[in-house]
Amino acid sequence: MKIHHYKLKVTWTGNLGTGTSKYDEYSRDHVISAKGKSDLLGSADPAFRGDASKYNPEEMLLSALSTCHMLWYFHFCSDNGIVVTDYFDEPEGIMEEASTGGGKFVEVILKPTITITDASKAALAIELHEKANSKCFIANSVNFPVHHLPKIQIL
């Protein structure tokens, strides 16, 4: 078994002068950085006093699921002679907030639109989404279902 380690730096940038002295007197803004990469600006969801112009943790979870799936999908397409020329996804997630505070995601739906060059491989291109889901490290790490509604287009 191989072990992989990942490192980030998350720096809170939301001290408005009095720190977290009161719930409504600090910003939820932060910077996510990794050595050799551009910074990613984050905040909380606007429903939780965040900045709507910045990425929030919930969006980052959707991004991780979507991109992990995409990369595994490309791997299996390549293995099966399916040439993908375009791919975009519009993932959606549902999170339930508990009345006592906290909450959890209950489902994510990936909605990729994939353009391939060979119409005879369209059915296989659809089937490979299940295989990609079964291998995706992120999908295998969450405790809610990740569904797929792929659309195939022919170049």
Shared domain for 73 and 139, answered yes or no, is: yes
Shared domain for 40 and 73, answered yes or no, is: no
Shared domain for 64 and 90, answered yes or no, is: yes
Identify whether 1 is part of a domain. Answer: no
Shared domain for 74 and 39, answered yes or no, is: no
Identify whether 93 is part of a domain. Answer: yes
Identify whether 61 is part of a domain. Answer: yes
pLDDT value at residue 101: 86
Shared domain for 43 and 94, answered yes or no, is: no
Shared domain for 133 and 68, answered yes or no, is: yes
Domain that residue 111 falls in: 57-154
Starting at the edge strand that comes first in sequence, how are the strands of the sheet with 84-89 ordered? 84-89, 112-116, 151-154
Identify whether 104 is part of a domain. Answer: yes
Exposure string over 88-126, b if 16+ CB within 10 A, otherwise e: ebebebeeeeeeeeeeebeebbbebebbbeeeebeebbe
pLDDT by residue for the chain (155 residues), tens only, comes to: 898 899 999 899 999 999 899 999 999 999 999 999 999 999 999 999 999 999 999 999 999 999 999 999 999 999 999 999 999 999 999 999 999 989 999 999 999 999 999 999 999 999 999 999 999 999 999 999 999 999 999 99
Identify whether 2 is part of a domain. Answer: no
**Number of domains composing the chain:** 2
Shared domain for 17 and 86, answered yes or no, is: no
- The model carries a pTM of 0.91
